[in-house]
Structure 1
Amino acid sequence: MKLLDQTLQRIKPLDARAMAKAQAHLDELTKPPGSLGALEDIARRLAGIRGEVPRRLSRKAHILMAGDHGVVAEGVSAFPQEVTPQMVFNFSRGGAAINVLARHASAELVLVDIGVASDLPELPGLLKRKVAPGTANLARGPAMTREQAIAALEVGIEVASAKIEAGNELLGIGEMGIGNTTPSSAILAVFSGRPVEEITGRGTGVDANRLRLKIKAIQQGLAINNPNPDDPLDVLAKVGGLEIAGMAGVILAGVAMRVPVIIDGFISGAAALVATRLAPLAGEFILASHLSEEPGHAVALELMGLKPMLTMQMRLGEGTGAALGMTLVDAAIMIYHEMATFSQAGISGALKS
């Protein structure tokens, strides 16, 4: 049996009893019920995933998947494909935004070459798990074979499982891949049924002409490949990306091993859409960090029933929003365990209706 099938079979619902117990404790804290909003929801969700709200998160890992895309040949990006390996070098040296924010969140940054088009040398912190040297051009045919899509999902499962077994209690996901908002928009178009032009944004800041090329490439790819929305693997293989598949695998491993996964913006949102179509219960284990400036992100979150913690006008990727979200998970845990209850503080509680 494939690792993917084994992982999907291990997925179970949240612990409703633990969530009710956590909610009762939250309601006894010295505040009006629900007044800490998303922080309370995070604590309650952690209880459902873990069986209780942990006292602290001993270790966190942020997994960044890097891969290239053949669709850049259609002129969909303002940056050349060479930027992907150049940024991987930057990540390895610790100089990118995600390096700074992962350090801020006290999270280990795990770099994975799952599909960079060029051969990378041995670099500090880089896992070389290349499934293919980038995807094919989705505007001209399938981006991947079904076997490649499964292999990339399983890379994500393997990397995440190893980090969880090493003691990590919270996972974040991020990506690097020039052109990857194009397959993300294509995935969202299939699952949402929305018009491509409505959910496709400027990504790295493309001008109006490149935006037209991007929309045309996606429309052409959908027409040529005819991905089946009822078959998530078909969608992923035909119009997806290797790093998108890898992130979806990370989510599935976290769900199967009952470790929360915090997603970033639009591209990790597309990965989460794939994961939740493969395993509908997965959405209950996902924490949405922020609302991206990409127009499709709000649609993706709505499809999954997720609410973002932050609105920061961010659209960088790399998992920068997820790293910021990790600090809010820490805050939610501290609130849950360190804030006084009404009885402890000697304060009259809210009147019961």
Structure 2
Amino acid sequence: MISKITALSKEIETALQKKIDFKTKPIGSLGMLEDIAIKIGSIQNTLTPKITTPTIVVFAGDHGITKSKKVSPYPQEVTQQMVLNFLNGGAAINVFCKQNKIDLKIVDAGVNADLDKNKALISAKIAKGTKDFSIEKAMTITQCNAAIKKGQEIVNTSYQNKCNTIGFGEMGIGNTSSAALLMSYFTKINIESCVGKGTGLDSEGLQQKKTVLKEVYQKHINNIESPTDALATFGGFEIVMMAGAILEAAALKMTILIDGFIVTAALLAAITIDKNVIDYCIFTHSSGEQGHQKILDFLNVKPILNLGLRLGEGTGAAVALPIIQSATLFLNEMATFESANISEA
């Protein structure tokens, strides 16, 4: 069952703005840091917000569409290999989480392999990859609901371990195809404008990917009855779990660090289920994957960074965390005009 998400209080937002305006600086001179401070303070309903046990959860899953070899230059086996790389500490997300003291969780949401038991791996496998959505729906509604529930449970565990700030990442060859289809469904933007190069298609490969996904979209569009049904039709198990995780994090009043294209596509589903989800989100960067900025524009939100990242894994969220921490620190530790005996304008 999905918990109801409450809207943020305007009263605490006003009080936070007043506190910021009395800091020893010109009004508005800390720019976006001020917006972030107000956001986190509003989520925590306090004038002294703190980030505790920041965590990034990386969900991994395989996609049936990749077996056709028409949407990705990489074979499905890379998903499994990258999960092992995460577990061995060798991926970019490992480096950035270590740098910024972020707790990293790796989840097998639906990898097409029998992964050895590992205390660092959360086993939440729904199935060994989704079905090929060029032929049939990616998963059943029962599987979709199970994935949503798993995502909720994983976030709840982090919450019980004192985490109040959580980001999500993903790994899954073919998941930019799922994300493009979900983006098109939820935003009504033409599917061809949602499709990007993913793991590095050339122009010919990109055109083929657009053709395949347009056919997939047209095949299913008239048979989708709800946001959950859209996730079941086009999603990957890792994307559906992220949607559930986002919903639960918002219900628990956690600050949610939104990463790139895939995570933001999962967010679209979550927002359609409960519009108040967006109040709890900080958009960490604008991805180099072409559809991502279009989603940010659709949501009318401004990302913190624009570094051309398009790796996934939650890397944008991990890199942005120190900036987010700076926002809480200035709010809590910077002097006021009165305490510093400085004349106001």
TM-score bin (small chain): over 0.9
Structure 1 residue aligned with 2:40, among 21, 46, 49?
46
Deviation for aligned residue 1:290: 0.2
Structure 1 residue aligned with 2:64, among 50, 67, 70?
70
- Is the counterpart of residue 57 in structure 1 residue 25 in structure 2? no
Deviation for aligned residue 1:229: 7.2
Deviation for aligned residue 1:168: 0.6
Give deviations 1:16-51, integer Å, cap 9, x for gaps: 211111111111112222222221111111121111
Structure 1 residue aligned with 2:157, among 162, 179, 183?
162
- What is the CA–CA distance in structure 2 between the aligned matches of 1:324 and 1:168, rounded to whole Å? 18
Aligned partner of 2:32: which letter? A
Change in CA separation of 1:212 and 1:166 when aligned onto 2, cut-off 3 Å: same
Structure 1: gaps spanning 5 or more residues: none
Give deviations 1:56-115, integer Å, cap 9, x for gaps: 323111111000001112321121110001000010011100001111221111111011
Q: Is the 8 A contact 1:92 1:124 kept in 2?
A: no
- What is the CA–CA distance in structure 2 between the aligned matches of 1:148 and 1:346, rounded to whole Å? 62
Deviation for aligned residue 1:240: 1.3
- What is the CA–CA distance in structure 2 between the aligned matches of 1:217 and 1:286, rounded to whole Å? 32
What RMSD in Å do the two structures reach over aligned CA positions?
Answer: 1.4
Aligned partner of 1:344: which letter? S
In structure 2, the partner of 1:259 is: 254
In structure 1, the partner of 2:30 is: 36
Structure 1 residue aligned with 2:19, among 25, 50, 73?
25
Q: Is the 8 A contact 1:227 1:235 kept in 2?
A: no
Seq. identity, %: 38
In structure 1, the partner of 2:129 is: 134
In structure 1, the partner of 2:242 is: 247
- What is the CA–CA distance in structure 2 between the aligned matches of 1:59 and 1:132, rounded to whole Å? 31
TM value normalised by structure 2: 0.96
Partner of 2:267, secondary structure, is: helix
Structure 2 residue aligned with 1:235, among 226, 230, 244?
230
Deviation for aligned residue 1:231: 1.9
Structure 2: gaps spanning 5 or more residues: none
In structure 2, the partner of 1:343 is: 338
TM value normalised by structure 1: 0.94
Partner of 1:318, secondary structure, is: coil
- Is the counterpart of residue 277 in structure 1 residue 272 in structure 2? yes
Number of residue pairs the alignment of both structures matches: 344
Give deviations 1:232-267, integer Å, cap 9, x for gaps: 112111111111111111111111010111011000
Deviation for aligned residue 1:227: 5.6
Aligned partner of 2:34: which letter? E
In structure 2, the partner of 1:144 is: 139
Give deviations 1:136-183, integer Å, cap 9, x for gaps: 111222111112111111111000011101111110100000010001
- What is the CA–CA distance in structure 2 between the aligned matches of 1:275 and 1:269, rounded to whole Å? 10
In structure 1, the partner of 2:292 is: 297
In structure 1, the partner of 2:182 is: 187
Aligned partner of 2:300: which letter? G
Q: Is the 8 A contact 1:43 1:53 kept in 2?
A: no
Aligned partner of 2:303: which letter? P
Aligned partner of 2:123: which letter? K
- What is the CA–CA distance in structure 2 between the aligned matches of 1:291 and 1:306, rounded to whole Å? 10
Deviation for aligned residue 1:273: 0.6
